Amino acid sequence: MLFKPISQNFSDFVIDRENDRCINCEVCVRQCSYEAHYWDDARQCVSHDHTKCVGCHRCEAFCPTGCLTIKKNPADFRDNALWTPTYMKHVYKQGDTGGILLSGMGSPADKPIYWDNLQLDASQVTNPSIDPLREPMELTTYLGSKPDKVSFEETSDGPKLTTKIGPQLKLNYPLMFSAMSFGSINLNLHKAMAMAATELGIAYNTGEGGLHPDLYKYGNNTIVQVASGRFGVHKDYLNAGSAVEIKIGQGAKPGIGGHLPGEKIDEEVSKTRMCPVGSDAISPAPHHDIYSIEDLLQLIYAIKESTEYKVPVSVKIAAVHNAPAIASGIVRAGADIVVIDGFRGGTGAAPTMIRDNVGIPMELALAAVDNRLRDEGIRNHASLVVAGGIRCSADAIKAIALGADAIYIGTAALVSVGCTLCGRCYTGKCPWGIATNEARLKKRQNPEVAAKRLANLVRAWGHEIQEMLGGMGLNSIESLRGNRDKLRGLGLNETELDILGVKHAGR
C-alpha cells in the first residue's frame, strides 16, 4: 500500500532553490496561493513541495534574491508513442479521484495552427504601399446587419441617406475583449476591461455572469450576454449594453454548458448572478427554450422587443463541422452578428477531454461560414466575429482577410495583465489575482493598472494592423475584409487550401 497517491510521484514541475542565495524572507510563501512553499519549523528555513507547483512562476518573479527557478520535471516515463506522459498522468489522477479531469485556459494540444501556415501578400511596384504615418488609415468597424442596397436623396446640404439601417455597434478598432464572466474573473478585471474599452472606443463582453452595478456606467462599451443559465439576466441588464449576445456554444467546450465552482461565488458574485453564495452555478448544455432555429428566432426577437430595437443582437456558437449551416439559420432568424468560437478558446473550467478533443479550428470554420453566407447572398445581413486562439495582430488581420468583421481577444488580454497560463483557473486560487475572488489574491490586480495594459495591447495591435494594411496597399480595414487574395498558404494540402479559399504561395 503506497503512503501517498502515485500521481504525486510525477509532478509536472520542480522548484529549484539555491539555498546559498535564499534569505528565508518567506516572500515565496506569501505569494504562492497553492502552498507549494512553506516554513519548515524543524529545519528553521523555507522549504517547498514540488507536487503542489503549477508552474505559474510568481514566486520566481517576486524572489528578491533570484534564488528560485521553476523547471519542467526532468524525470520521465519510458518512451511510448501511444502512452505519453500526459495520458499516464491523466489515468493516475482519475484512479485517485474517480472524477472528470478539469482544465482552464485554451487547449495545449499539438494540432495544426493555420495562422502559422498563412502569409500576407505585400504590395510592390504596380500597387504601391501606403505609409500609415502620413496617410489616413481607417480601422473603424461597424457591427450589425447592413441593407442590400442604399438610397439617397439630394438636399441643399448634399446627399442624404434615406435607407433605414439597423442598429450598429461602432468600434474604433476591429478588436473587442472576449466574454469572461464575473465570477470566473473578478470585479477588478471586469472594471479594467470596461475602462479600457471605453478609453479605446471598443467593447467588452460581460460573459454569462451578469453585470455588476458599478459597471452600468460603461454601458456604451458593454456587450451583455444571455446564456443558458440566464444568470443575472433581467430587463435593466438587457438595456444596459450596446449589444446583446446569446451564447449557444463555447469553443473550449462545445456541446456542454458552463460551470462556475461554488468556491468562486462570494456575496458580490451571488448578487450579480442571482444565485446562492457558495453554490455551483451550472449553465445547462442547451437553452431550455431553444430546440430549433424557430425557437432561437423567438428569443432574438424577444430581446429586440425588450431593447426596443436599439441595439444589435448577436449569437455565439462553437466552431463545429456544420457551423456554416447553423450560421445561415442564425442569420435568417434575425441575428445581427454571428460569433464563431474555435476550439483553442480559453475557459475558466472545462473537462480536459472535451477541451482537447471536441470542436474544430476557428480558421476553417470562419472560412466555411463566410463562404456559405456569400453563396446564399446574405453575408451583409450579419457581421462575423471570431474568437478562440488569437495570439497577435497578425492572427487578427489574417482572420479579417478570411472574412471576419472583428475579433474577440480573451487569453491575450489576460496574458497582458500577468497570466502565465498555468491552467488552474477553476481552483479559484489564481496567484496573479485574475481568476480568483479571494480577497487577498484579487487585490493583486489594480483596475487602473490593468486597464492601462489592456489599452496598450489594443493600441499596439492597432498600429501593427495599420502597418500591415499599408504594406498590402490598403488604407482601410474594410478593403481587407474577406479579401483572401491577400493571403497565401504554406505547407497546406489541397483540401485545406480549398476550405480556406486561399492560393498556395507562388500562385
Annotated binding site: 22, 25, 28, 32, 53, 56, 59, 63
CB 222 within 8 A of CB 241: yes
Three-state SS at 238: helix
- Using DSSP bridges, classify how beta strands 313-318 and 337-341 pair: parallel, antiparallel or unpaired: parallel
User: How big is the CA angle at 200 (ends 197 and 201), to the nearest 5 degrees?
Assistant: 80
Q: How far apart are CA 384 and CA 21, in angstroms?
A: 54
In DSSP terms, 339 is beta-bridged to: 316, 385
Element (H, E) at 267: helix 267-273
CB 192 within 8 A of CB 416: no
CB 178 within 8 A of CB 205: yes
Instruction: State the binding site for [4Fe-4S] cluster.
Output: 22, 25, 28, 32, 53, 56, 59, 63
Q: How far apart are CA 123 and CA 98, in angstroms?
A: 58
Q: How far apart are CA 324 and CA 334, in angstroms?
A: 16
| 447-471 helix and 393-402 helix, angle to the nearest 10 degrees | 60
Q: How far apart are CA 416 and CA 452, in angstroms?
A: 10
In DSSP terms, 69 is beta-bridged to: 16
| 187-200 helix and 447-471 helix, angle to the nearest 10 degrees | 40
Sheet of 503-504: strands edge to edge?
Answer: 118-120, 487-489, 503-504
Q: Which amino acid is at 238?
A: L
In DSSP terms, 205 is beta-bridged to: 223
User: How big is the CA angle at 366 (ends 363 and 370), to the nearest 5 degrees?
Assistant: 145
Q: How far apart are CA 342 and CA 340, in angstroms?
A: 7
In DSSP terms, 68 is beta-bridged to: 17
What distances in angstroms separate CA 20 from CA 67, 68, 207, one per listed residue? 8, 11, 48
Q: How far apart are CA 344 and CA 17, in angstroms?
A: 34
Which among 169, 194, 168 has a CA at the least distance from the CA of 180? 194
What distance separates the 2 farthest-apart alpha carbons in the chain? 92
What distances in angstroms separate CA 241 from CA 18, 31, 145, one per listed residue? 52, 37, 18
Burial-class residue 172 by CB neighbours within 10 Å (0-12, 13-18, 19+).
middle
Q: What is the DSSP string of 359-392?
A: S--HHHHHHHHHHHHHHTT-GGGSEEEEES---S
